[in-house]
A = this chain, B = another copy of it.
Amino acid sequence: MNDTLQQYIEKLNGLDIKNMYNNDFFLTWDKTDDEIMAVFTIADALRNLRERNISTRIFDSGLGISIFRDNSTRTRFSFASACNLLGLAVQDLDEKKSQIAHGETVRETANMVSFMADVIGIRDDMYIGKGHTYQKLVADSVTQGYEDGILEQKPTLVNLQCDIDHPTQCMADMEEIIHYFGGVENLKGKKLAMSWAYSPSYGKPLSVPQGVIGLMTRFGMDVVLAHPEGYDVFPEVEEIARKNAEKSGGSFTKTGSMAEAFRDADIVYPKSWAPFAAMEKRTDLYAKGDFDGIDALEKELLKQNAEHQDWSCTEELMKTTRDGKALYLHCLPADISGVSCEKGEVDASVFDRYLKPLYKEASYKPYIIAAMIFLAKVKNPQKLLKELEEGNKLRWRQ
């Protein structure tokens, strides 16, 4: 047995994960600390096996259904990679090619596409109050279908980004932090700045900043949320962050100054998002079909954004972080000043200096997704990891 894999298995032995079997993954704060650690550990274990060219297929056949209600490259490919790694074929539900417009219910569609679905991944992040609700409805529908004997397996729902949280992204971000600093045990007292940053585009979801403060307050770090006035996130998520921090022995604070957030920070996450109130208004306008109203709102928001062009991750600002060398994180793609726009979230020279950790950060996402599926599908993960190692089936016959 490979030593590193052995350590992962031993770690899992100490965690209570029995509720993950046959369950879903909506929001990180639905999960216990043990469950969150199990996802990181399984992700590492799957990566360890793959690096050693050992196949981790646990399915001989089966489907992973993806529903993307917003454009996506990296999440789409991460989901496809995770499914493939475990042996599932991806079938995309392209709502434009389907008959869904015909008026059928979510419950019906969910069951119709799931007869052989082992997992359903959904991205629905555009409208406040909608994405998470939709995901819940899909999960409830197929759970009902399973209980009624329609489906022979309960498809696991994996949240690939909703209006509230972006768990696969934020857990990949967090796994980068854990590896960068050499383990969860080294994070106590580290300062993380989740900061709004200027972007010339508009309407970016709140799920990343919310996901970050909702997850990263669990590890004893000092998490600071910084944004200009009016760019608040959901109060409920701030409340979760506060409770997490208290429990973990860290802190959660807010500031209206990017400079203050960055000062002596060990980790910085500068990223644009839309104000919560504006996103709510937009959802209402959309529901009413008031497209003139949406246009007007867009103009207003862009104007509001433009007042905060100084919220940018510049070289000057980076110098004020811990030893001038904070770990820079981003979910990508970033708005890079002078590259993708005149003035954006980050200086090109800063971004370029962090390419390797940024790409590494992204590279965890397929494994995080695969780990979420693995934990929902395998009753005794430690035993199966051992069997996979012992079976030693080559992933690739070189």
| Partner-B contacts on A (CB < 8 A) | 47, 50-51, 55-63, 65, 68, 71-74, 76-78, 80-81, 84-87, 89-91, 93, 97-100, 102-105, 107-109, 111-113, 115-116, 118, 145, 148-153, 201, 332-336, 339-341, 355-356, 359-360, 362-363, 365-366, 377-379, 384, 387, 393-398
Min distance, Cβ A382 to any Cβ of chain B, angstroms: 13
CB pair B115 A60 closer than 8 Å: no
Assembled-state Cα–Cα distance A55/B397 (Å): 13
Q: Give 9 nearest A-B pairs by CB, closest first.
A: A103-B340, A104-B333, A73-B98, A81-B116, A55-B60, A58-B397, A150-B359, A74-B112, A77-B113
Check B93–A73 contact: CB distance below 8 A: yes
- The answer to whether B85 touches A332, judged by C-beta atoms less than 8 angstroms apart, is no
**Nearest B residue to A103 by beta-carbon distance?**
B340
Alpha-carbon distance A71/B99, docked complex (angstroms)? 6
A68 to B94, CA, bound (A): 13
The residue of chain B having its C-beta at the shortest distance from the C-beta of A89 within the complex is B84
Residues of B within 8 A of A100 (CB): 73
A76 neighbours in B (Cβ, 8 Å): 97-98
Task: For the complex formed, measure the closest distance between the CB of A186 and the CB atoms of chain B, giving whole angstroms.
Answer: 21
Tell me which residues across on chain B come within 8 A of A151, comparing CB atoms. 363
Bound Cα distance A348, B150 (Å)? 21
Residues from chain B with Cβ under 8 Å of A84 in the complex:
61-63, 89, 91, 116
A-B contact sample (19 more), CB < 8 A, given A50-B152, A51-B152? A47-B152, A59-B395, A62-B396, A63-B80, A63-B84, A72-B98, A73-B98, A73-B99, A77-B113, A81-B91, A84-B89, A89-B90, A102-B333, A104-B333, A111-B362, A112-B359, A150-B359, A150-B363, A377-B398
Can you name the residue of chain B whose Cβ is closest to the Cβ of A55? Answer: B60
Report chain B residues within 8 Å CB of A80: 63, 89, 91
Structural contact, A149 and B72, CB atoms closer than 8 A: no
Q: Tell whether A71 pairs with B98 under 8 Å between CB atoms, given A61-B395, A77-B91, A377-B396.
A: yes
Hey, which chain B residues are within 8 Å of A47, CB to CB? 152
Instruction: Give A47's nearest chain B residue, CB to CB.
Output: B152
Residues of B within 8 A of A105 (CB): 339
Q: Decide if A112 touches B77 in the complex (CB within 8 Å).
A: yes
Given A99-B73, A104-B332: A60 in contact with B61 (beta carbons within 8 A): no
Given A84-B89, A97-B71, A359:B396 Cβ within 8 A: no
User: What's the nearest-Cβ distance from chain B to residue A372, in Å?
Assistant: 16
